[in-house]
Chains A and B, each alone.
Chain A
Amino acid sequence: MTLDLATVSDRIAGIYLQVAPDGEAPAEDGRGQLDSMAFLEFITLLEKEFQIAVDAEDVTEANFATRASTAAYVLQKLANH
């Protein structure tokens, strides 16, 4: 099944709900405030949820600054799968 940006973003919001210290997901263009431990958990769940492998080199501001940029990154990974 091909996923669209909105679906991916919603599923990413679900991951934020599990790992964010305040238990909240950022808005579409909002920055998630995760410390490195929570961020690693976030990455691990992201990999499981979308069956992708996140490389350390991909952890950039461009890919993970906002929920929307993370969704775009996931879609790109899925397309290259």
Chain B
Amino acid sequence: MIRETATVCERCVLTTSVPGVSLDEEGVCNVCREYEANRSTYDAYFKTEDDLAALFRRTHSPEAPYDVLLMYSGGKDSTYVLNRLVDMGQRILAVTFDNDYVPKGCFDNIRGVCEDAGVDSLILSLNRATMDRVFARSLEQDSQVCTGCFRALTARGTEVAIEKGIPIVMTGLSRGQIFDTKVHQLLAAGKTDIDEIDRWLRAFRRRYHEQKDEIAELINDRAAADLAAFERVHFIDFFRYCKVTKEDIVALIKERNPAWRKPENVGGCSSNCMINDVGIKVHQETKGYHNYAVPAAWDVRFGHETREEVLEELETDLDERRIHGILTQLKINYHVKDGAV
């Protein structure tokens, strides 16, 4: 349990076991202090729903079969996004990447939500053996399962958007996830101009799909094979333009999709993936902290979730037997001592 084994920042959920994090005499972490000092610069990255509506007007093409390709996991965040995009009059193709660890209950949710909203659904997959190698490589490289899977799903989603001429690929990443995985590093490197940040993010995305590494080989990443076509696609994070709380998300889903249920066997930090806990376990054991802690701490700072809500999620008990079973299947042995998988 995080609160039993480490001192947690009084404001967010970071502990000193996260590299580079320290607490001051008031028990507040250096990242919260950094945010406090740079709040207006950091918040400036986020935009409004009016900005998103303007973007939709600019990118709309009557010839395209859809306005938006939504990376739809069937989890609560992307279900909220799907509903909101329908409200905004967008023609949506909901693309789900089946990583072979998506529970049946999640597919029921996907089917139900898409039917409720009158949205077309496309489910893509790779074979189990390939995905297991992607997960194994991802665990070796990053001590988590999400990075390899995310690479596979963004590659496939982008390829579909290019093939069908859909102008926007949209994700349901939370503000904390957006900030942790994309924006914070650029701001820390002194790049504070928003247009410049967007140019760098675009460059990183291109490089991400151009890189010829082991995961690219495994998943046959062809997203940037036609660079001109790749450059025509807009990659948009819905929550960059929409400030909501977790409570808002749950309330909208209850209202619009009353049959939506959190599936079983997905742990405390996911509502759609049965291998997620494996990544959490390996990350905790090898790196000494929860891999959701840093993005979730940003979600607390941005007011998306309360500190208590996040701590509860991070402290959810892991199903050790199920995790052991999956690790055995992936032929993974991880060694805590040297911090390597």
Contacts and interface: CB of A to CB of B under 8 A. Distances in A.
B141 to A, nearest CB: 8
A21 B142 CA distance: 10
Contacts of A59: 200, 203-204, 206-207
The 10 closest A-B pairs by CB, nearest first: A56-B199, A59-B203, A56-B203, A56-B200, A36-B204, A61-B210, A37-B185, A44-B189, A40-B185, A33-B213
A41 B139 CA distance: 23
A64 interface: yes
A56 B196 contact: yes
Given A31-B212, A33-B213, A60 B206 contact: yes
6 contacts: A33-B211, A40-B186, A55-B199, A56-B200, A59-B206, A60-B206
Interface in B255-283: none
B210 A56 contact: no
A39 interface: yes
A66 B29 CA distance: 39
Interface of A: 21, 31, 33, 35-37, 39-41, 44, 55-57, 59-61, 64
A40 B200 CA distance: 9
Contacts of A35: 142
State the main secondary structure of chain A at its contact with B: helix
- Among A21, A35, A36, find the residue whose CB has the most chain B CB atoms closer than 10 A: A36
B202 interface: yes
Contacts of B206: 59-60
B292 interface: no
Interface in B190-205: 196, 199-200, 202-204
Contacts of A55: 199
B140 to A, nearest CB: 11
Given A56-B200, A56-B203, A59-B203, A40 B189 contact: yes
A39 B207 contact: yes
A56 B186 CA distance: 12
Contacts of B142: 35
B208 interface: yes
B213 A57 contact: no
Contacts of B210: 60-61
A57 B207 contact: no
Given A31-B212, A56-B196, A57-B199, A64 B189 contact: no
Contacts of A64: 207
Nearest to B198: A56
A41 B149 CA distance: 24
Contacts of B212: 31
Given A31-B212, A59-B204, A59-B206, A36 B199 contact: no
Interface in B283-336: none
Interface in B159-205: 185-186, 189, 196, 199-200, 202-204
A31 B214 CA distance: 12
Interface string B204-232: 10111011110000000000000000000
A25 B240 CA distance: 36
B201 to A, nearest CB: 8
Contacts of B189: 40-41, 44
